[in-house]
A and B are shown apart, each in its own frame.
Chain A
Amino acid sequence: MAAGDPAETFRQEAQELIEQLEHSLLDLEQTPTDRDLVDSAFRALHTIKGSGAMFGFEAMAAFTHHVESAFDQVRKGKLQPSPSLVGLALEAQDIIRAMILEPDCDLADRQKTVLDQLAQLVGSAADAAGQEAKASAPASQPAQKQRWRITFSLARDAMVMGINALLLLDELRSLGHCTVTALTDAVPPLAEIDAESSYLRWDVVLTTDAPRSAIDDVFIFVQDDANLSITAIDLSTEGRLGEILVDRGEVPRRVVEEMVASRPPLGELLVEAGQVAPEAVKSALAEQKHLIRDQADSAKEAKAASSIRVPAERLDELMDRVGELVIVQARLKQQANSNGDPLIKAVAEEMERLTSELRDTTMSIRMVPIGSLFSRFRRLVHDLSRDLGKKVSLVTTGEETELDKTVIERLNDPLVHLIRNSIDHGVEGTAERLAAGKTGEGEVRLEAYHSGAQVVISVKDDGRGLDRVRIQAKAEENGLIPPGAKLPDDELFQMIFQPGFSTAKEVTNVSGRGVGMDVVKRGIESLRGTVDIGPRSGGGTEVTVRLPLTLAIIDGLLVRIGHGRYVIPLPTVEECVELSLADDARSSGRSFLNIRGELVPFIRLRDLFASPLPADPYQKVVIVSLGECRVGLVVDQVIGDHQTVIKSLSKLHSNIKAFSGATILGDGSVALILDIEHLIEWAQEQTDVAMLEAGE
């Protein structure tokens, strides 16, 4: 349906409904016992009222309500559709029509007459006339932090009914600091579990300044059968386990006091003594943690500004150490898995969790907002525009976007080049701009934002844009493309990044002699990033730089192909599926896979890497995504996730584009890290070559 004004649609619809109502009423006069006619009349009134109230016909809706109520009585058999009722309804229908089509005319007297007569017929049914909705809830109290204890379990069939407990918990989390404990005591043994049933009970402690009604709203659809209890907790509670249990009514205070007198830890003692269920202690302990966090938070708020300065080398050193630790942890994990001792395994798992947290913390220490870099460019833009005699303003957004400190430092030169190019080549002089109908002042925009595991930085200008003809001529002159070659825009524009490429008619001292863009590209690629150039929608040029969040350690997916093991960066991985024998047989070389109705091309890495071993009987496909496109990588085995410390390849191997580096595995062997984007390009070239050879 074309988008339009719903009120207009309603007006047309209401006329049809009124006609339907009239037919039903007239027929009803003839056959008063026909229930279908009563239903039809009721439905018409009901829809007129319901829709009317939504599109600005409140008075009409209120009036229709009384007529509808009368017909509801008829529907329920409490009132007969007598000729006088039908007559009244017809009169009411005329009023409704007038109220919709001529909203300005005064119908109060006619309305009153109809309503009075209806009231006589229906009795109390129309008594509600003129009754207004109660005054809205009392003015909200000033926001004050309150701590709530919320316990709920869902009806067994809640999941079937479309209730998602995760969404409920997310909604609670959006209200404030939230500690959630899942209580599993009602979960039956695995053999008896019905996967569609809901067995868990949740204990949530929430500290929020939202009113109680906001919490009630979260549970509005489940409150009837959710076994929900919401109680306020005294904010002054010190957070001792015993007090929490007493406060929850799990155990009398006397018992706790006696126990405390004997010996800690209290929780275990209480459970051993059979006074409290283990689940109750678990939940109370979670609440205790919440209280302690709350107190720490308020202490933190008190001295939020305090920070210390550390020499950057120490951070680099720390990152190196963490890297080594991650490698050792991988060895420990390997040993634990082959050894089979559950105790060692437990330690190894704990160790893995801690190193992963340590890694994240260390990385977050190294993160610096990009605003510090952006602010340097103000002066640059000011000086450049003065030197070139152009008026240019710099607009920056996303200054708070964080990037690794090293990345930010090494980003300075490429960005300086890009901004210089924009001002020198992109933005026109004032006179030219005015002639083109633009404002006299040009604009360069620097934007930074997160996109998945990448940070995107774009430099946009509103200048004359990219000159296709000149770029083509220059590329032909430099021998990059054969004369007269027809390239798609995006491929042609990529020529700009070739060494020695400059289309500036005269060389200025600002943007040099075409040693700009290839340096930019190399600089960005050394940071494992990519750079693209293209026209900006609405005129001008846009350069987009994509960078990984960090350089040192990534989460990877470890896979095996033949004897070799390889790491696929986890952020690019979408899913893993099995390559069915049918799919395998159907295809040779590069082929396609049907993933839920979508065709996804796949690459056989064992062919690409020329692995001599025969393929595993059940090969796996790792689906990776690169921006818009998805590609499957066929491997022999998916081993699992792996914290990958990136070691760069030696200079000797720097021209191998398909690998971005290597890492050391737990057993001391080396795994190569796949550079997905270049790998796909390489595979494409290989296929093209193979096809050419086959064709000849």
Chain B
Amino acid sequence: MSKNILSVDDSASIRQMVKMTLSAAGYGVVEACDGADALGKAKSSPVNMVVTDLNMPNMDGLSLIRELRKLPEYRGVPIIFLTTESDDEKKKEAKAAGATGWITKPFKQDQLLAVVKKVIG
């Protein structure tokens, strides 16, 4: 069964790029445009992995990660965040919130795929 990935970003172009890349690799992609939207979708249909931006309106990425980790079905689900600069503070904060790993923007398709393969195989 194909694995489903929740892509959370307020930027439609990033979402489109993530979806194109992951669908082509055989993953199912669910899209959400901000943290609140993502949390609702994550609850109604559990996914195998989450890729989220950090800076978003209506619940930012950090709060989303914290809320997801509170749900029993999201304990152990890899959560990857997108970060623009390799900002160590942000990284530490997100890791402490429960993130699994990160992708530094700007990224190429193969970089995204490499990280997804790394955490869900």
For the complex, is A104 an interface residue (Cβ under 8 Å from B)? no
Partner of A51, one of B13, B92, B99, B120: B13
**Stretch of A155-163, A360-368, A446-454, A639-647 that contacts chain B:** A155-163
For the complex, is B79 an interface residue (Cβ under 8 Å from A)? yes
Q: In the complex, are the beta carbons of A160 and B121 less than 8 A apart? A: no
For the complex, is A220 an interface residue (Cβ under 8 Å from B)? yes
Closest to A43 in B: B55
Partner of A160, one of B14, B53, B55, B75: B75
Q: In the complex, are the beta carbons of B14 and A54 less than 8 A apart? A: yes
Min C-beta distance of A196 to chain B, whole Å: 7
- A residues near B121, Cβ cutoff 8 Å: 164, 167, 170
The winner among B31, B55, B69, B102 for most chain A CB atoms within 10 A is B55
Interface of B is mostly: mixed
Given the interface pairs A47-B55, A49-B84, A196-B75, the reply to whether A162 lies near B119 with Cβ below 8 Å is yes
Partner of B77, one of A6, A40, A53, A162: A162
Count of A residues near B, CB < 8 Å?
Answer: 34
Closest to B121 in A: A167
- A residues near B119, Cβ cutoff 8 Å: 162-164, 167, 221
Interface 1/0 per residue, B83-113 and A, CB below 8 Å: 0100000001001001111100111000000
For the complex, is A224 an interface residue (Cβ under 8 Å from B)? yes
- A residues near B77, Cβ cutoff 8 Å: 162
Given the interface pairs A13-B12, A53-B106, A170-B121, the reply to whether A3 lies near B76 with Cβ below 8 Å is no
- Bound state CA distance, A128 and B31, in angstroms? 36
Partner of B20, one of A6, A12, A13, A221: A6
For the complex, is B78 an interface residue (Cβ under 8 Å from A)? yes
Min C-beta distance of A57 to chain B, whole Å: 10
Min C-beta distance of A173 to chain B, whole Å: 12
Q: Which of B28-52 contact A (CB under 8 A)?
A: 31, 49
Min C-beta distance of A228 to chain B, whole Å: 15
Interface 1/0 per residue, A35-65 and B, CB below 8 Å: 0000010110011011101110000010000
Interface 1/0 per residue, B1-38 and A, CB below 8 Å: 00000000011111111011000000000010000000
- A residues near B98, Cβ cutoff 8 Å: 160-161
Given the interface pairs A53-B105, A220-B101, the reply to whether A1 lies near B57 with Cβ below 8 Å is no
Q: In the complex, are the beta carbons of A1 and B16 less than 8 A apart? A: yes
- A residues near B92, Cβ cutoff 8 Å: 224
For the complex, is A10 an interface residue (Cβ under 8 Å from B)? yes
- B residues near A13, Cβ cutoff 8 Å: 11-13
- B residues near A159, Cβ cutoff 8 Å: 76
For the complex, is A171 an interface residue (Cβ under 8 Å from B)? yes
- Bound state CA distance, A10 and B107, in angstroms? 15
- Bound state CA distance, A630 and B28, in angstroms? 22
Interface 1/0 per residue, B55-68 and A, CB below 8 Å: 11100000000000
Given the interface pairs A50-B11, A161-B99, A224-B95, the reply to whether A6 lies near B17 with Cβ below 8 Å is yes
- A residues near B95, Cβ cutoff 8 Å: 161, 224
The winner among B13, B15, B98 for most chain A CB atoms within 10 A is B13
Given the interface pairs A43-B55, A43-B57, A162-B119, the reply to whether A54 lies near B17 with Cβ below 8 Å is yes
- Bound state CA distance, A12 and B10, in angstroms? 14
- Bound state CA distance, A523 and B110, in angstroms? 47
Q: In the complex, are the beta carbons of A50 and B20 less than 8 A apart? A: no
- Bound state CA distance, A47 and B84, in angstroms? 9
The winner among A46, A51, A171 for most chain B CB atoms within 10 A is A51
B residues with a Cβ closer than 8 A to A are 10-17, 19-20, 31, 49, 53, 55-57, 69, 75-79, 82, 84, 92, 95, 98-102, 105-107, 118-121
A residues with a Cβ closer than 8 A to B are 1, 3-4, 6-7, 9-10, 12-13, 40, 42-43, 46-47, 49-51, 53-55, 61, 159-164, 167, 170-171, 196, 220-221, 224
10 additional contacts (CB under 8 A) given A6-B13, A46-B84, A54-B13: A1-B16, A10-B11, A40-B57, A46-B55, A50-B53, A51-B13, A163-B119, A164-B121, A221-B101, A221-B102
